[in-house]
Amino acid sequence: MGQRLRFAPSPTGLLHVGNARTALVNWLVARHTGGSLVLRIEDTDVERSDEENERAILADLAWLGIEWDEGPDIGGPYGPYRQSERLDRYTEVADRLVASGWAYPCFQTAEQVESLRQQARQGGGSFRFRGEHRDVSADEARALIEQGGAALRFKVPDTDVRFVDDLRGETGLVAGEIGDFVVTRADGSPTYNFAVVIDDHDMRIDRVVRGEDHLPNTPRQILLYEALEWQPPAFTHLPLILSPDRSRLSKRQGATSVAEIREGGVLPEALCNFLALLGWSPPDENEVLRPAELEAVYDVSKISAANSVFDLTKLEWLNGQHMALLSPGDLLDRVTPFLVEAGIELPGPGLGREREWFAAAAVLAGGGARRLTELAARLRELICPSWGGLFEANAEVRDDEEARAVVGAFAESSRAGELDNEEAYLDAVSRVREATGAAGRRLFHPLRLAISGRDSGPELKQLIPLLEVGARLALEPAVPGVAERIDRALGLRRS
């Protein structure tokens, strides 16, 4: 049966990996069960919430490919989907709790309650707050509320609270562990625990999947469901994501927001794959799964209840795998923003042959690259080598008579148009070998150094024809061919 799930970010900052993982799991469960995903913005903390963050969160989710069926931007049958637009509803339910004797006014400020807590702690006792007006009648409560300045507190009953967490089994609190908690503050605004229960109920949520940091909140929410005589949803609390030293994941470990990871050249499907693999293993050996494949096999009930570690090397490995799965055209599209950043504007989609060439170059340059940023840097170097750098890297070629003869012969073949396919290139290699007597590394090393300034890189039998074809296509930006590169390496051409 299709389940209704929700992702409920607070727009108090950027979407970070922990929340992205929660969003992804909700989305996968909704899709896997043929259900719906609701996006709800929890912006009742007015001081810390802002629209810019909300926009950024929506954009990051969209980039990840996580689609919601109802939300603040698209509406839906159970809206509004922004808590700041639901305040009347919270007031209505708070009134109901007062009328039924489940909530009462309290004039003590949070600071006062906190100092009572400190006193109790110093005295070595446990602390459970119960307000002075806890046992007033509903009419007396209303009269007190009329005076203004009262928060409303929930009257926590003396009973155990039990609930089932899908990953941990039955859990909860024994009677007396929690004090009467605030449902609406003195200014009328709802607390998180109160608003979330009303929203999850009103939005017909069947299953709440959220981070384990919310586990202490759930008993309070269960109490509210019981008081309101509403059916609570099922709960799954996802284990935390830790840094490799098992401390709380923080900026110290590098990029932890989705935006930073994207800017670091990671593909959205690779990040989704990585997040899905936290605490979960696919049924067969293959760990590299695209979103549609994840959707088909992901099983939230199989998540390990142990915390998982954010392993950057694994993310990079997965990213390399996903880059290799892309078609040349897709790979080029994905790397284009990074090329633009590196100062290279490629021809628009109208220019078929040109784009095809750049796509082939991206595939060749990108072999083994783990980030789009790395691919962009390599592609940039292949398209526009630095002449100064190339000249400097080739001192050993210029000083070695045999090496000069080898690269000189290849420059001639290039000028004669004899290197623009693999077969022609291999013929040229045979001729140069015969003419110069150089073979193996003595032949290929100077050649590679002269055309790229490096001693390793893509296979020459692919790279050389590619450069030759590129030079003849008169691309924009212009791609120098083999002869020009060798001339520069040898210092025969300088301007």
Amino acid symbol at 96: R
| CA gap 351, 329 in Å, rounded | 12
Q: How far is CA 260 from CA 249, 271, 371, 449, 491, in A?
A: 15, 12, 13, 35, 42
8 binds ligand GLU (CB under 6 A): yes
Cβ nearer to ligand GLU, comparing 238 with 359: 238
CB under 6 A: which stretch of 2-10, 161-169, 353-361, 376-384 binds ligand GLU?
Answer: 2-10
**Contact criterion met (CB below 8 Å) for 446 and 406:** yes
Shortest CB 199 distance to ligand GLU, Å:
9
Cβ nearer to ligand GLU, comparing 19 with 319: 19
Shortest CB 221 distance to ligand GLU, Å:
8
Binding residues for ligand GLU restricted to 28-67, rule: CB under 6 A: 42
Binding residues for ligand GLU restricted to 199-258, rule: CB under 6 A: 210, 214
404 binds ligand GLU (CB under 6 A): no
Given the residues 155, 251, 302, 314, the one annotated as active site: 251
Shortest CB 213 distance to ligand GLU, Å:
7
Return the residue of 3, 4, 5, 9 that touches ligand GLU, per CB under 6 A: 9
Shortest CB 304 distance to ligand GLU, Å:
21
CB under 6 A: which stretch of 5-13, 71-79, 162-170, 367-375 binds ligand GLU?
Answer: 5-13
Cα 36 vs. chain centroid, distance in angstroms?
A: 21
Contacts of 16 (CB under 8 A, 6+ apart): 256, 257, 258
Q: How far is CA 283 from CA 236, 276, 322, 406, in A?
A: 21, 13, 19, 54
Residue 251: active-site member: yes
Identify the CA nearest to 181 among candidates 138, 224, 123: 224
Shortest CB 124 distance to ligand GLU, Å:
33
Cβ nearer to ligand GLU, comparing 9 with 385: 9
Query: Strand 182-184 and strand 151-154: pairing?
Result: antiparallel
Residue 208: how many other CB atoms lie within 10 Å: 21
| CA gap 417, 335 in Å, rounded | 31
Binding residues for ligand GLU restricted to 10-29, rule: CB under 6 A: 10
| CA gap 340, 418 in Å, rounded | 33
Amino acid symbol at 109: T
Burial string for 77-90 (b: 16+ CB within 10 Å, else e) reads ebbebbbbebeebb
Shortest CB 300 distance to ligand GLU, Å:
15
196 binds ligand GLU (CB under 6 A): yes
Cβ nearer to ligand GLU, comparing 11 with 366: 11
User: Considering CB under 6 A, how many residues would be counted as binding ligand GLU?
Assistant: 7
Identify the CA nearest to 241 among candidates 258, 264, 226: 258
Cβ nearer to ligand GLU, comparing 51 with 341: 51
Binding residues for ligand GLU restricted to 303-332, rule: CB under 6 A: none
Q: How far is CA 329 from CA 57, 332, 356, 467, in A?
A: 28, 5, 7, 18
Cβ nearer to ligand GLU, comparing 9 with 366: 9
Shortest CB 40 distance to ligand GLU, Å:
8
The catalytic residues are: 251
* Contact residues for ligand GLU, defined by CB under 6 A: 8-10, 42, 196, 210, 214
